[in-house]
C-alpha cells in the first residue's frame, strides 16, 4: 500500500519548516554578532548591554550552534535517517530555550528584544508542528525514519533550498523595520553575500526539484527479454 498523499505533504511541510528555522537561527546568531562585538557602536538602548557583552557573545555562539544543528537535522530528515526526528526536536528545543533567554535578557537590559523574537517564534512554531506529528494516527503515516514507499529526497531538498534562498534574497526588506538603527538597515549590510547565497540556493533547489519530478531527466527502465518475447 502506497503512502497517503496527505502524509507526504505533511512530511514535506515539516522538512521545509525545519529548513526555514535553521536559516532564521543561523541568521539570528550571525546578526547578533554585530551588537555583541561592539554594543556601544550602535547607541541608543544598545548601550545598556555593554556591561554584559560576554553574555551576548555567548548568545551568538550558542544560537549559531543550534542553527548548525538545525541545518544538519534538515539533511537527516531529507535522507529519512532513523535519528532524524529526535535530532530535530533537540535542535528546536535548544533553539527555543536560548531564544527565550535572549528575549528576556534583552527586554530587561534595553527594553526590547527584536529581532530575536522572530527567530524564537519560528523555533516554537516548528517545534509545535513536530510534536503534533507524534500524535497517534499521524506518526504511523508521517513518522520520519521509518520505511516509506515514496522517495521524497529530491523534492524535499529542492523545496527547502528554494524557500531558504528566497529568505536570503528578501530578508533585507521584511526585516528592515526591526534592523534599522540611525537610518541604516543592518539587515542589508551583507547584501552581496546574501544575494549570492540566495540565488545559489534557488537555482540549485529548482534544478534538484526538476530532477526529482523527472522533468529534466527521466530514468530509462530496461526492457526485459521476456517482455519482448511475450510482445
Averaged pLDDT, 175-181 = 68
Domain coverage including residue 174: 5-230
Evaluate whether 25 touches 123 at the Cβ level (below 8 Å): yes
Cis ω before 214 (30° cut-off from 0): no
The Cα–Cα gap between 84 and 133 comes to 13
Compare 43 and 105 and report the one with higher pLDDT: 105
Residue 208 has pLDDT above 70, yes or no: yes
Residue 227 has pLDDT above 60, yes or no: no
The Cα–Cα gap between 215 and 155 comes to 12
Pick from 149, 162, 139, 148: nearest CA to 209: 162
Grid cell digits, residue 100:
527565550
The Cα–Cα gap between 38 and 35 comes to 5
Q: Which pTM was predicted?
A: 0.79
Domain count, the chain: 1
The Cα–Cα gap between 18 and 92 comes to 9
The Cα–Cα gap between 38 and 52 comes to 11
Mean residue pLDDT of the chain comes to: 81
Task: Return the pLDDT at 99.
Answer: 92
Burial 101-129 (b: 16+ CB within 10 A, else e): bbbebbeebbeebebbbbbbebbbebbeb
Amino acid at each position: 500500500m502506497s503512502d497517503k498523499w496527505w502524509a507526504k505533504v505533511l512530511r514535506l511541510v515539516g522538512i521545509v519548516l525545519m529548513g526555514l528555522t535553521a536559516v532564521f537561527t543561523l541568521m539570528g546568531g550571525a546578526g547578533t554578532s554585530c551588537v555583541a562585538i561592539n554594543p556601544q557602536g550602535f547607541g541608543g538602548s544598545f548601550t545598556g548591554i555593554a556591561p554584559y557583552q560576554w553574555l551576548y557573545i555567548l548568545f551568538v555562539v550558542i544560537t549559531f550552534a543550534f542553527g548548525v544543528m538545525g541545518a544538519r537535522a534538515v539533511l537527516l530528515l531529507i535522507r529519512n535517517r532513523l535519528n532524524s526526528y529526535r535530532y530535530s526536536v533537540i535542535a528546536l528545543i535548544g533553539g527555543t530555550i536560548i531564544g527565550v533567554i535572549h528575549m528576556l535578557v534583552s527586554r530587561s537590559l534595553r527594553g526590547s528584544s527584536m529581532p530575536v523574537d522572530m527567530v524564537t517564534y519560528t523555533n516554537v512554531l516548528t517545534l509545535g508542528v513536530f510534536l503534533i506529528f507524534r500524535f497517534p494516527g499521524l506518526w504511523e503515516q508521517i513518522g520520519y525514519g521509518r520505511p516509506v514507499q515514496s522517495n521524497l529526497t529530491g523534492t524535499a531538498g529542492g523545496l527547502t533550498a528554494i524557500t531558504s534562498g528566497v529568505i536570503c534574497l528578501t530578508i533585507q526588506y521584511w526585516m528592515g523595520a526591526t534592523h534599522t538603527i540611525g537610518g541604516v538597515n543592518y539587515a542589508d549590510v551583507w547584501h552581496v553575500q546574501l544575494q549570492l547565497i540566495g540565488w545559489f540556493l534557488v537555482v540549485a533547489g529548482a534544478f534538484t526539484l526538476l530532477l526529482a519530478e523527472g522533468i529534466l531527466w527521466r530514468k530509462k527502465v530496461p526492457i526485459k527479454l521476456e517482455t519482448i518475447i511475450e510482445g
